[in-house]
Protein backbone atom coordinates (compact mmCIF):
# COMPACT_ATOMS: atom_id res chain seq x y z
CA UNK A 1 0.00 0.00 0.00
CA UNK A 2 1.37 3.42 -0.95
CA UNK A 3 1.39 6.53 1.18
CA UNK A 4 -2.02 7.52 -0.13
CA UNK A 5 -4.44 4.92 1.16
CA UNK A 6 -7.09 3.50 -1.14
CA UNK A 7 -10.81 3.87 -0.49
CA UNK A 8 -10.94 0.21 0.62
CA UNK A 9 -8.71 1.10 3.57
CA UNK A 10 -11.28 3.69 4.64
CA UNK A 11 -14.09 1.12 4.64
CA UNK A 12 -16.22 3.50 2.56
CA UNK A 13 -19.20 1.17 2.43
CA UNK A 14 -19.64 1.62 6.20
CA UNK A 15 -19.48 5.42 6.20
CA UNK A 16 -21.79 7.39 3.86
CA UNK A 17 -20.00 10.68 4.45
CA UNK A 18 -16.81 9.19 3.01
CA UNK A 19 -18.37 8.03 -0.27
CA UNK A 20 -17.99 11.52 -1.76
CA UNK A 21 -14.21 11.39 -1.40
CA UNK A 22 -13.71 7.72 -2.20
CA UNK A 23 -11.81 8.29 -5.44
CA UNK A 24 -8.11 7.53 -5.76
CA UNK A 25 -7.14 10.89 -4.29
CA UNK A 26 -9.14 10.31 -1.09
CA UNK A 27 -6.94 9.37 1.82
CA UNK A 28 -6.83 9.15 5.58
CA UNK A 29 -3.97 11.67 5.45
CA UNK A 30 -6.16 14.31 3.83
CA UNK A 31 -9.00 13.63 6.24
CA UNK A 32 -6.85 14.25 9.28
CA UNK A 33 -6.87 17.95 10.05
CA UNK A 34 -4.39 20.01 12.01
CA UNK A 35 -6.18 21.87 14.79
CA UNK A 36 -3.20 22.82 16.90
CA UNK A 37 0.48 23.66 16.94
CA UNK A 38 2.61 23.30 20.07
CA UNK A 39 6.20 23.86 21.12
CA UNK A 40 7.87 21.64 23.72
CA UNK A 41 9.21 23.95 26.45
CA UNK A 42 10.55 22.53 29.74
CA UNK A 43 8.49 19.34 29.46
CA UNK A 44 5.23 21.14 28.61
CA UNK A 45 3.62 21.54 25.20
CA UNK A 46 2.67 25.22 24.81
CA UNK A 47 0.63 26.39 21.84
CA UNK A 48 -2.78 27.02 20.30
CA UNK A 49 -5.87 24.99 19.43
CA UNK A 50 -8.26 26.32 16.79
CA UNK A 51 -11.42 24.80 15.32
CA UNK A 52 -14.27 26.57 13.55
CA UNK A 53 -16.02 27.39 16.86
CA UNK A 54 -13.21 27.17 19.39
CA UNK A 55 -9.90 28.99 19.70
CA UNK A 56 -7.58 29.11 22.69
CA UNK A 57 -4.04 29.20 23.94
CA UNK A 58 -3.40 25.81 25.47
CA UNK A 59 -0.80 23.93 27.46
CA UNK A 60 -0.43 20.17 27.63
CA UNK A 61 1.33 19.43 30.90
CA UNK A 62 1.79 16.65 33.44
CA UNK A 63 -1.52 15.61 35.02
CA UNK A 64 -1.45 16.67 38.70
CA UNK A 65 -4.63 14.64 39.40
CA UNK A 66 -3.18 11.30 38.23
CA UNK A 67 -3.39 8.56 40.87
CA UNK A 68 -3.50 5.31 38.84
CA UNK A 69 -1.39 4.00 35.97
CA UNK A 70 -4.39 3.91 33.60
CA UNK A 71 -5.22 7.58 34.04
CA UNK A 72 -4.03 10.24 31.60
CA UNK A 73 -0.39 11.27 31.92
CA UNK A 74 -1.14 14.80 30.73
CA UNK A 75 -3.86 17.40 31.13
CA UNK A 76 -4.82 19.94 28.46
CA UNK A 77 -5.34 23.39 29.98
CA UNK A 78 -7.01 26.47 28.46
CA UNK A 79 -4.31 29.05 29.18
CA UNK A 80 -6.63 32.10 29.18
CA UNK A 81 -9.30 30.64 31.46
CA UNK A 82 -9.99 33.11 34.24
CA UNK A 83 -13.62 32.65 35.28
CA UNK A 84 -14.34 29.04 34.34
CA UNK A 85 -12.64 25.67 34.81
CA UNK A 86 -9.48 25.59 32.70
CA UNK A 87 -9.15 21.82 31.99
CA UNK A 88 -10.30 21.07 28.43
CA UNK A 89 -8.87 17.61 27.94
CA UNK A 90 -6.47 14.82 28.75
CA UNK A 91 -3.65 13.03 26.92
CA UNK A 92 -2.01 9.60 27.10
CA UNK A 93 1.50 8.66 25.95
CA UNK A 94 1.43 6.06 23.17
CA UNK A 95 3.75 4.56 20.58
CA UNK A 96 2.86 3.18 17.17
CA UNK A 97 3.06 -0.58 16.72
CA UNK A 98 5.08 -0.49 13.49
CA UNK A 99 8.06 1.83 13.89
CA UNK A 100 7.52 2.66 17.55
CA UNK A 101 6.99 6.40 17.02
CA UNK A 102 5.91 8.20 20.23
CA UNK A 103 2.78 10.37 20.19
CA UNK A 104 0.10 11.67 22.54
CA UNK A 105 -3.49 10.49 22.23
CA UNK A 106 -5.51 13.60 23.15
CA UNK A 107 -9.18 13.85 24.16
CA UNK A 108 -10.62 17.38 24.08
CA UNK A 109 -14.06 18.42 25.31
CA UNK A 110 -15.92 21.70 25.36
CA UNK A 111 -19.63 22.63 25.39
CA UNK A 112 -19.26 23.94 21.82
CA UNK A 113 -18.21 20.47 20.58
CA UNK A 114 -20.88 18.03 19.39
CA UNK A 115 -18.88 15.28 21.09
CA UNK A 116 -15.42 14.73 22.51
CA UNK A 117 -12.65 15.30 19.95
CA UNK A 118 -10.06 12.56 19.59
CA UNK A 119 -6.73 13.80 18.30
CA UNK A 120 -3.05 12.91 18.17
CA UNK A 121 -0.09 15.14 18.96
CA UNK A 122 2.91 14.24 16.81
CA UNK A 123 6.34 15.75 16.25
CA UNK A 124 6.43 18.14 13.30
CA UNK A 125 9.20 18.74 10.81
CA UNK A 126 10.87 21.45 12.91
CA UNK A 127 12.76 21.13 16.18
CA UNK A 128 10.45 21.05 19.24
CA UNK A 129 7.33 21.72 17.13
CA UNK A 130 4.36 19.35 17.50
CA UNK A 131 1.11 19.27 15.52
CA UNK A 132 -2.31 18.27 16.84
CA UNK A 133 -4.39 16.35 14.27
CA UNK A 134 -7.97 15.11 14.61
CA UNK A 135 -10.10 12.73 12.59
CA UNK A 136 -13.84 11.94 12.73
CA UNK A 137 -13.24 8.23 12.38
CA UNK A 138 -10.88 6.12 14.47
CA UNK A 139 -7.22 6.99 14.04
CA UNK A 140 -5.02 3.89 13.71
CA UNK A 141 -1.31 3.46 14.39
CA UNK A 142 -0.69 3.20 10.64
CA UNK A 143 -2.32 6.58 10.06
CA UNK A 144 -0.19 8.14 12.79
CA UNK A 145 3.00 6.67 11.32
CA UNK A 146 2.10 8.05 7.87
CA UNK A 147 1.48 11.47 9.35
CA UNK A 148 4.76 11.37 11.32
CA UNK A 149 6.73 10.41 8.19
CA UNK A 150 5.09 13.20 6.17
CA UNK A 151 5.83 15.76 8.91
CA UNK A 152 9.46 14.59 9.21
CA UNK A 153 10.01 14.82 5.46
CA UNK A 154 8.70 18.40 5.05
CA UNK A 155 12.16 19.97 5.58
CA UNK A 156 13.64 17.62 2.95
CA UNK A 157 11.00 17.88 0.25
CA UNK A 158 9.55 21.30 1.07
CA UNK A 159 5.88 20.38 0.63
CA UNK A 160 2.96 20.60 3.00
CA UNK A 161 0.87 17.91 1.33
CA UNK A 162 0.72 14.12 1.59
CA UNK A 163 3.36 12.26 -0.37
CA UNK A 164 1.87 10.48 -3.38
CA UNK A 165 4.68 8.08 -4.14
CA UNK A 166 7.72 6.68 -2.37
CA UNK A 167 10.76 7.48 -4.49
CA UNK A 168 14.37 6.32 -4.30
CA UNK A 169 15.29 9.80 -3.04
CA UNK A 170 12.82 9.55 -0.13
CA UNK A 171 14.14 6.10 0.75
CA UNK A 172 17.69 7.47 0.64
CA UNK A 173 16.98 10.36 3.05
CA UNK A 174 14.58 8.38 5.25
CA UNK A 175 15.53 4.66 5.11
CA UNK A 176 12.85 3.45 7.54
CA UNK A 177 10.12 4.59 5.17
CA UNK A 178 10.68 1.40 3.19
CA UNK A 179 9.90 -0.69 6.26
CA UNK A 180 6.55 1.06 6.73
CA UNK A 181 5.34 1.19 3.13
CA UNK A 182 6.01 -0.85 0.06
CA UNK A 183 7.07 1.53 -2.73
CA UNK A 184 4.94 1.44 -5.92
Tens digit of pLDDT for each residue in 57-73?
A: 999 999 988 898 888 99
Domain that holds residue 72: 7-180
Find the helix or strand (DSSP H, E) in which 147 lies: helix 141-157
**Looking at the domain assignment, is residue 2 inside a domain?**
no
User: Is residue 85 domain-resident?
Assistant: yes
**97: pLDDT confidence band, cut at 50, 70 and 90?**
confident
Q: Which residues pair with 93 in a beta bridge?
A: 104
Residue closest to 49 by CA, chosen among 59, 63, 64 = 59
Query: Which of 91-100, 113-122, 175-184 is predicted least confidently?
Result: 175-184
Strands 33-41 and 55-62, sheet pairing:
unpaired
Residue 1 lies in a domain: no
**63 is a domain residue:** yes
- Whether residue 105 lies inside any domain: the answer is yes
Domain tally, the chain: 1
pLDDT of 157 over the 90 cut = no
Is residue 86 a part of any domain in this protein?
yes
Amino acid sequence: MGLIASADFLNVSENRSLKRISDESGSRQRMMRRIGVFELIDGEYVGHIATLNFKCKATIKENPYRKNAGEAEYIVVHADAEVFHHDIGYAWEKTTDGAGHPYLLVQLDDPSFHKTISAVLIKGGQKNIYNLFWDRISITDGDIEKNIITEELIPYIGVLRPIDKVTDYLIEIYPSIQEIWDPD
